[in-house]
Amino acid sequence: MRPGSTGRSTASAVPPPPANKLPRSPRVALEPEMVPAPRRHSARVRHPMVVFGNAIFTLLVLVSLAAGAALYVGKQRFDAPGPLAEDKIVNIPQGYGVSDISDLLKREGVIDQPYVFIGGVAVLKARGLTLKHGEYKFARQASLSDVVETLSEGKVVQHTFTVAEGLTSEQIVQRLLETDALSGQIKEIPREGTLLPETYKFTRGMSREQILQRMQQSQKRVLQEVWARRSPDLPAQIQTPEQLVTLASIVEKETGRDDERTRVAAVFVNRLKAKMKLQSDPTIIYGLIGGKGSLGRPIMKSEIEQATPYNTYAIEGLPPGPIANPGRASLEATANPARTKELFFVADGTGGHTFSDSYAEHQKAVAKLRAIERGNGAAPANAVPAADAPSAPPAPAPPPDPKPKTNLRR
């Protein structure tokens, strides 16, 4: 005991236990302290099949992500503008596969990513689409998507073949043979008047015989329609559709003006009713050279007097057949001619014609034309001088048979 102490012993200060660790009860203190065991994966999780399945799933996820990224990039390239600087036509031959087509388009400068093209085709094939052969027009900067769509829908180039009214069958055949986009030969020249002048569409490689068949079918269809609506008072010389075509072919060769066709047809119809000769210059030419086309010079007086089956200055009524292939307008004009009494017509010097009821009026019109020609310092290209026309017979005979026209449309 130290001096100054109170004599009472004091225990040393002991800090209180932490609040979160209270002293255990005597019983608990006697028991060993429990330490939690480390967690282990179950036997099911550690099974090889589960591990393999997890690996496969992970791989599929990665593949899907990669495929999605590839599709996204591919779609962007598939829809991007292509390399073409201007529109271009390319012919895809029959029998070409996807790889062949891809190579051809790359050589032609239509595409610059052949593998993307092939991939796009593969995707579309899964939807049932296929590429078709033929001649195609690709627009400037056409995307791969545009190119594949064009080929899969068969949007081939449409060519046109136009047949002018008044051409002979031989002339039409010659023009078909000169058209390189068509194929095949022509067995024989169709009968005159059996082809309808019109514009026909076709694709490269179509046969020439097919075009001729379409012309013939169109002519039959149009002739049937026109004949069904013909005037009931046509002359006795026009009793069949074929006779209508014959007169329409003469009308076609005499005028190319829409506003004159029915009047020209009326002149010939009136002459047939009056039992006058038609006296049409184009029939003379056809009798001389057949379906060859133009005579290449004015008709001579001796040729007007030369007897041929087609010379309507020499024969009565219609010639034995058409002298050309008339168009629909001439067929309709002949089936329903204007209701006039006109028997003559002559060129008026301006591309049209002057129509007359009487021979005297006609002679005045001819004299006017001669004055115009003299003023121009040139003889009429296709005219026979008025003095060469037949003189008028004495009354009460029908009017004379002067040629109804003095210039030709060849």
- Whole-number pLDDT of residue 1: 47
Q: Is 357 found in the same domain as 289?
A: yes
Quick one: which of 72, 73, 83 has its CA closest to 144? 83
Average model confidence (pLDDT) across the chain: 82
Domain end call among 106, 134, 153? 153
- Provide, rounded to the nearest whole percent, the portion of the chain with pLDDT above 70: 73
Q: Is 260 found in the same domain as 345?
A: yes
Q: pLDDT of 72-98, one tens digit each?
A: 555 667 688 889 999 999 999 988 989
Question: From start to end of 295-373, where are the E strands?
Answer: 344-347, 353-356
DSSP secondary structure letters along 121-159: HHHHHTTT-----EEEEE-TT--HHHHHHHHHHT-BPPE
Q: Is the pLDDT of residue 390 over 70?
A: no
Q: How many CB atoms lie within 10 A of CB 140?
A: 12
Contact 80, 117 (CB under 8 A): no
Report angle CA 327, 330, 336 to the nearest 5 degrees: 140
Q: Is 243 found in the same domain as 218?
A: no
Examine residue 317 and state whether it is found in any structural domain, yes or no.
yes
Q: pLDDT of 108-167, one tens digit each?
A: 999 988 888 888 888 777 566 788 999 999 999 989 889 988 898 888 999 999 999 999
- From CA 144, how far away is CA 120, in angstroms rounded? 8
Q: Is 275 found in the same domain as 182?
A: no
Looking at the DSSP bridge assignments, the partners of residue 97 are none
- Whole-number pLDDT of residue 349: 86
Examine residue 40 and state whether it is found in any structural domain, yes or no.
no
The stretch 13-19 carries a mean pLDDT of: 57
Domain end call among 153, 180, 203? 153
Structural domain including 181 reads 159-224
Examine residue 57 and state whether it is found in any structural domain, yes or no.
no
Q: pLDDT of 358-376, one tens digit each?
A: 999 999 999 999 988 887 7
* H or E stretch at 208: helix 208-228
- Whole-number pLDDT of residue 274: 95
The stretch 393-406 carries a mean pLDDT of: 41
Examine residue 281 and state whether it is found in any structural domain, yes or no.
yes
Q: Is the pLDDT of residue 404 over 60?
A: no
* Residues 6 or more apart in contact with residue 281 via CB below 8 angstroms: 299, 382, 403, 405, 406, 408
207 DSSP 8-state letter: B
Q: Is 333 found in the same domain as 189?
A: no
Q: Is 339 found in the same domain as 372?
A: yes
Q: Is the pLDDT of residue 17 over 70?
A: no
Q: Is 190 found in the same domain as 92?
A: no
Examine residue 333 and state whether it is found in any structural domain, yes or no.
yes
Looking at the DSSP bridge assignments, the partners of residue 345 are 355
- Whole-number pLDDT of residue 113: 87
Peptide bond into 396 cis (omega under 30): yes
Quick one: which of 97, 109, 101, 102 has its CA closest to 138? 109
- Whole-number pLDDT of residue 11: 47
Number of structural domains the chain divides into: 3
* H or E stretch at 119: helix 114-125
Examine residue 410 and state whether it is found in any structural domain, yes or no.
no
Q: Which two three-digit tokens encode residue 342? A: 């006109």
Contact 151, 136 (CB under 8 A): yes
- Whole-number pLDDT of residue 388: 33
- Whole-number pLDDT of residue 399: 44
The stretch 270-297 carries a mean pLDDT of: 92
- Whole-number pLDDT of residue 161: 96
Q: Where does residue 360 rank: exposed (0-12), middle (13-18), buried (19+ CB within 10 A)?
A: exposed
- Whole-number pLDDT of residue 310: 95
Q: Which two three-digit tokens encode residue 384? A: 């026979």
Q: Which two three-digit tokens encode residue 263? A: 């009047």
**Worst-scoring range by mean pLDDT, 4-13, 17-26, 106-115, 217-226?**
4-13
Q: Is 241 found in the same domain as 301?
A: yes
- Provide, rounded to the nearest whole percent, the portion of the chain with pLDDT above 90: 54
- From CA 29, how far away is CA 243, in angstroms rounded? 134
Examine residue 99 and state whether it is found in any structural domain, yes or no.
yes
Contact 196, 222 (CB under 8 A): yes
Q: pLDDT of 158-191, one tens digit each?
A: 999 999 999 999 999 999 999 999 999 999 999 9
Q: Is 252 found in the same domain as 143?
A: no
Q: pLDDT of 198-225, one tens digit each?
A: 999 999 999 999 999 999 999 999 999 9
- From CA 34, how far away is CA 307, in angstroms rounded? 139
Question: When comparing pLDDT for 373 and 339, which is higher?
Answer: 339
Residue 283: phi and psi, rounded to 5, are -70, -30
Q: Which two three-digit tokens encode residue 225? A: 């329609």
The stretch 236-263 carries a mean pLDDT of: 96
Q: Is 384 found in the same domain as 274?
A: yes
Q: Is 330 found in the same domain as 244?
A: yes
Q: Is 280 found in the same domain as 203?
A: no
Examine residue 332 and state whether it is found in any structural domain, yes or no.
yes
The stretch 217-240 carries a mean pLDDT of: 97
**Worst-scoring range by mean pLDDT, 65-69, 301-305, 311-315?**
65-69
Domain end call among 224, 249, 274? 224
